[in-house]
A = this chain, B = another copy of it.
Amino acid sequence: MASVAWLNGSPADTALAFSRGLHYGDGVFRTLLKYDRQIIDIDGQLEKLAADSAVLDLRFDGLSPLRQEIFDASTNLDTGVIKVLLLRAGAGRGYRPPAESSADRLVLCYPLPAFEARCWRTGITATKSDFTLAAQPQLAGIKHLNRLEQVLASRSWPASSDEVILRDDGGRPICGSRSNLFWLQQGVLCTPLLNRCGVAGRMRARILTLAQQLGIETRIEAFEWHALMAADEAFVSNSLIGIWPLRQLDGQVWSAPGPMTADLMRGLAHPTLSFL
Contact = CB atoms under 8 A, between A and B. Distances in A.
Interface residues of A, number: 75
B131 A138 contact: yes
Contact of A146 (B9, B15, B146): B146
B73 A6 contact: yes
Interface in A98-131: 104-111, 113, 131
A200 to B, nearest CB: 16
Contacts of A236: none
Interface string A62-82: 000000010011101100110
Given A113-B93, A135-B135, A178-B95, A17 B108 contact: yes
Contacts of A113: 93-94
Contact of A25 (B57, B91, B147, B157): B147
A49 to B, nearest CB: 15
Contact of A1 (B4, B17, B80): B80
Nearest to A107: B6
Contacts of A95: 147, 150-151, 153-154, 177-178
What's the number of copies of this chain in the assembled complex? Answer: 2
A72 B9 CA distance: 9
Given A13-B15, A131-B138, A134-B136, A4 B148 contact: no
Nearest to A196: B134
B151 A106 contact: no
Contacts of A56: 148, 151-152
Contacts of A23: 29, 83, 85, 145, 147
A237 interface: no
B7 A15 contact: yes
Given A135-B135, A177-B95, A24 B169 contact: no
Contact of A97 (B80, B83, B85, B155): B155
A3 interface: yes
Nearest to A4: B109
Given A12-B15, A16-B17, 11 more contacts: A3-B108, A6-B108, A7-B104, A9-B105, A12-B106, A57-B155, A94-B154, A95-B147, A95-B154, A96-B155, A146-B148
